[in-house]
Structure 1
Amino acid sequence: MIRDEIKIGSEEGEVFDKKQIALAIRNSTFSDELKCSLLEDGILDKCLGCSLKYICDGINQVVDDYVEKTTEVVNNFNFE
C-alpha cells in the first residue's frame, strides 16, 4: 500500500509526516520541481514580504544541500 498523504492520524490528532515531506523535497530534485502556489495562482506577485519566505528559502537550501551531498562524480572524460 502506498500512501501519498502529508498528514497522518495519531492518538494526539493529525500530525505531519516527515517522511512524506522529505520525499517531496527529494523528488523535486529528480524530474519534479518546487513551485509556490501563491505565485502560480496570482495571489502574490513576488516573495518579498511573504510570511513563508523564510521557510521557502530554507527548503531551497535543503534541496541544494541534498543535491550536493548525494551527487558524486564517478569519472571525468576527456575527448581530446
Structure 2
Amino acid sequence: MVRNEIKINSEKGEIFDKKQIALAIRNSTFSDELRCSLLDDGILDKCLGCSLKYICDGIDQVVDNYVEKTTEVVNNFNFE
C-alpha cells in the first residue's frame, strides 16, 4: 500500500514520514519548486526574523547538496 501523506497515524500519535518529506524536497529539484506560503499569503513580507528561517535555509542547502551529488556529466559531445 502506497501512502501519499506527510503525516502518519500510529499508536503513539501522529508522526511525520521522512520519506514523504524527502520526496517533496527531491521533486522540487525537477519541475517543481519550493516556496514559502507565509510570504505568498502576505503573512510575512520577508524571511528576516521568521522563526522558521533556519529550517528553510537548511532545506535550501539540502536541495543544493542533492542536485550537486546527483547531477553528473556523463559525456561531452563535439559536433565539429
TM range (shorter): over 0.9
Deviations 1:22-80 (A, max 9, x none): 00000000000000000000000000000000000000000000000001100123344
Q: Percent identity?
A: 89
Q: Distance in 1 between matches of 2:50 and 2:61?
A: 18
Aligned to 1:28: 28
1:50 — aligned with what? 50
1:4 aligns with 2:21: no
Match runs of 1:36-75 below 5 Å: 36-75=36-75
Shift of residue 4, structure 1, vs aligned partner: 1.7
Matched residue pairs, number? 80
Equivalent position SS for 1:65:
helix
Relative to the length of structure 1, the TM-score reads: 0.93
Distance (whole Å) between structure 1 residues aligned to residue 29 and residue 15 of structure 2? 25
Which stretches of structure 1, 4 residues or more, deviate above 2 A after TM superposition? 77-80
Report how far residue 10 of structure 1 moved.
1.0
